[in-house]
Chains A and B, each alone.
Chain A
Amino acid sequence: MDPREKALGQFISLIWKNATRNRRRSLLTVASIAASFCLLGVLLAIYVALFISRDESPAGSRRLVTRNRISLTQVMPISYEAKIRQVPGVEAIMAYQWFGGVYKEPKNFFARFACEPAQLFQIYPDYRVAEDEKRAFIADRAGALLGRDLAAKYQLKVGDKITLKGDIFPVDLEFNIRGLFDADKNEDVMWFNIDYLWKSLPADRRDFAGTYLMLTQSAEDSPAVAQQIDSLFRNAQVRTKTESESAFAASFVSFLGNVKLYLFAISAAITFTILLVCGNTIAMSVRERVREVGIMKTLGFTNGEVMGMILGEATVISLLGGFFGCVIAYLLCKAVSGASGGFANLEGMTLAPWMWVTVMTAAVVMGTLAAIWPAWGASRTSIIEAMRYSG
């Protein structure tokens, strides 16, 4: 750029006036950018919640999950529990099983796990339950323990009965709600006794566990303990895969499909769409102003300054779009995390400050990139040509 050229800051007010001169079109452009980048923000938040964020609580980083190496749908013999308990560094272990099922209607979705009640409170030391409720839950084979908010949402209380229609398992189970718990996170969960599930199944389907949940003695030990557990069953008929609780949550989601690939594909499609939308809008608004470009150049504006102003305009519009996109994405993340029912790690899903910055930067980069071609074209138009332009 020519050193004598004026800094763009001199023209901010003019850039703003140009960006807002066609209010309806600018609003529509800002809205479509906002919609797309909102989606991008949500995808980013999902991605981070699923694949990157970790439960940083002391207990969270000490929890390991062991599952069948082949697939989440395959189970492991119950005999593994005793063997794993022998591994040095394992403080507590519990068999647990995703039950699925339907409570009244499929839309009433929340996590339901069969577990070993006596061990549950060792593994989740942050669970706060009244002592008598805890005892009642452990004592009743048909007992159920619900997160307090979850119970409130379905207007359930201690003493109520709750029936789950099985889908993965061919049984309908009726439970007595014995207690409500408070926890630091993942409160939207219902726990019940795995024994109750086993007893209701045909003999050949009993005595298995889909997953084992362990608490290690220290977070630093966890990776080594995980390795040791898996090596224990290296030559067994059913091999295992042990990973941290949050890594497991991610693989649980991946099991639903190649989520990572979908996320990237959607993001790429959005980005490309935005490039076209922005490029088209800027090209349109520039075409209407070719004559003004000629006037400005007559007054002494250089090609670089004209181009800078058009790019500045694109930046303003895409920055606005990116900002509103982030605001909507933030609200959506809140809604999703509230409705996730403790599913995978989605409860912790949020649009973190660095994501705001990332999304808004992406918006500005895309918007400005899209404007380069029309801006360059306009700035190169000779004064004579521009002034003859009657459009």
Chain B
Amino acid sequence: MSEVVIEARKLSKTFKRDEFEVRALDNCDIEIKRGEFVALMGPSGSGKSTLMHLIAAMDRATSGRIAVLGEDLSQFDDAELARWRNRHIGFIFQQFNLIPVLTALENVELPLKLTSLNGKERIAQAETALRLVGLGDRMTHFPRQLSGGQEQRVAIARAIATDPDILIADEPTGNLDAQSASDVMVMLQKLNQDFGKTIIMVTHDRHAAEYATVIRHLEKGELKPEVEYPKKPV
């Protein structure tokens, strides 16, 4: 009962800019099992975001192999990757990244427009997601009419709208005050425990990391051996 959903072998990513080469990720091996809630920590520039982008198929590795949900991502073309992302990955950003001209509900509905659901079903599903994050009364608000914490909850609703298997969060609490941050963490924990989502979260915040089931460290593009098991707050 421990299916591996993310498996990377000797994964490397090199950025070339003019003459310079930056090795953002260096021969990284990682295995994440279904239902895990992994907190990824490490100093700035250690390649955490780069790893997230590779797992979410937002970027392609320079070398090495990465399989997510049993699929070798390098096999897909760009359009196939886009649809695969839509179905299987929910991404939560540090800067929320909502579309400013769309209401909360429309933002959450956006990824559903790419599915086979009809208009009614989409709205219903988007409303369910918004209620789940406690924003049932803010559906018609625009992002600028929401607080940072509320915006991030809309972003979470958007990430779970298509009911993906994996949630990826890159410093989701980085722009939030302590209270909003712990709201968001409780929500992620709930998604992990009650809905069985596999979550990989980058964070600098030890406090946030304690909500995870596993903490991993990345340093200079290399993943440190699994050393630490946090105790979950109740």
Bound CA–CA A14/B91 (angstroms) = 21
- Answer whether A382 and B56 are a contact pair too, CB < 8 Å, given A297-B82, A302-B83, A304-B79: no
Chain B residue nearest in CB terms to A380: B78
Q: How far is the CB of B110 from chain A (nearest CB, A)?
A: 6
Q: Does B145 contact A (CB under 8 A)?
A: no
**Inter-chain contacts of A10 with B (CB < 8 A):** 113
B110 touches A299 (CB 8 A): yes
A14 touches B102 (CB 8 A): yes
B58 touches A383 (CB 8 A): yes
- A:13-29 near B, CB below 8 Å: 14, 17-18, 21
**Inter-chain contacts of A387 with B (CB < 8 A):** 93, 97
Q: How far is the CB of B59 from chain A (nearest CB, A)?
A: 5
B58 touches A301 (CB 8 A): no
Interface SS of chain B: helix, strand, loop or mixed? helix
B59 touches A383 (CB 8 A): yes
Q: How far is the CB of A19 from chain B (nearest CB, A)?
A: 10
Most chain B CB within 10 A, of A291, A292, A301, A303, is at A301
Q: Does B111 contact A (CB under 8 A)?
A: yes
A4 touches B79 (CB 8 A): yes
Q: Does A73 contact B (CB under 8 A)?
A: no
Among B53, B79, B110, B158, point to the contact of A302 (Cβ < 8 A). B79
B78 touches A302 (CB 8 A): yes
Q: Does B203 contact A (CB under 8 A)?
A: no
Bound CA–CA A296/B59 (angstroms) = 15
**Inter-chain contacts of A11 with B (CB < 8 A):** 113
Q: How far is the CB of B79 from chain A (nearest CB, A)?
A: 4
**Inter-chain contacts of A299 with B (CB < 8 A):** 85-86, 91, 110-111, 114, 158
Q: Does A238 contact B (CB under 8 A)?
A: no
Q: Does A221 contact B (CB under 8 A)?
A: no
Q: Per-residue 0/1 for A35-57: is the Cβ within 8 Å of any B Cβ (1 yes, 0 no)?
A: 00000000000000000000000
**Inter-chain contacts of A78 with B (CB < 8 A):** none
Chain B contact patch, size range: 20 to 34
Among A17, A300, A384, point to the contact of B83 (Cβ < 8 A). A300
Among B56, B99, B101, point to the contact of A295 (Cβ < 8 A). B99
B82 touches A21 (CB 8 A): no
Bound CA–CA A383/B113 (angstroms) = 19
Bound CA–CA A344/B79 (angstroms) = 60
Bound CA–CA A206/B110 (angstroms) = 84
Bound CA–CA A304/B83 (angstroms) = 12
**Inter-chain contacts of B83 with A (CB < 8 A):** 4, 300, 302
**Inter-chain contacts of A71 with B (CB < 8 A):** none
B99 touches A300 (CB 8 A): no
Bound CA–CA A382/B78 (angstroms) = 10
Among A14, A18, A300, A382, point to the contact of B59 (Cβ < 8 A). A382
Q: How far is the CB of B104 from chain A (nearest CB, A)?
A: 14
Q: How far is the CB of A380 from chain B (nearest CB, A)?
A: 10
A303 touches B79 (CB 8 A): yes
Q: Per-residue 0/1 for B23-36: is the Cβ within 8 Å of any A Cβ (1 yes, 0 no)?
A: 00000000000000
Residues of chain A whose beta carbon lies under 8 Å from any beta carbon of chain B: 2, 4-6, 10-11, 14, 17-18, 21, 291-292, 295-305, 382-384, 387
Closest 10 A-B residue pairs measured CB to CB? A300-B86, A299-B111, A2-B79, A383-B58, A302-B79, A302-B82, A17-B101, A295-B97, A21-B101, A300-B114
Residues of chain B whose beta carbon lies under 8 Å from any beta carbon of chain A: 53, 56, 58-59, 78-79, 82-83, 85-87, 91, 93, 97, 99-102, 110-111, 113-114, 158, 162
Give 20 A-B pairs besides A4-B83, A292-B99 with Cβ atoms closer than 8 angstroms: A14-B102, A21-B100, A21-B101, A291-B97, A295-B97, A296-B110, A297-B58, A299-B110, A299-B114, A300-B85, A300-B87, A300-B111, A301-B114, A302-B78, A302-B79, A303-B78, A303-B79, A304-B79, A382-B59, A384-B53
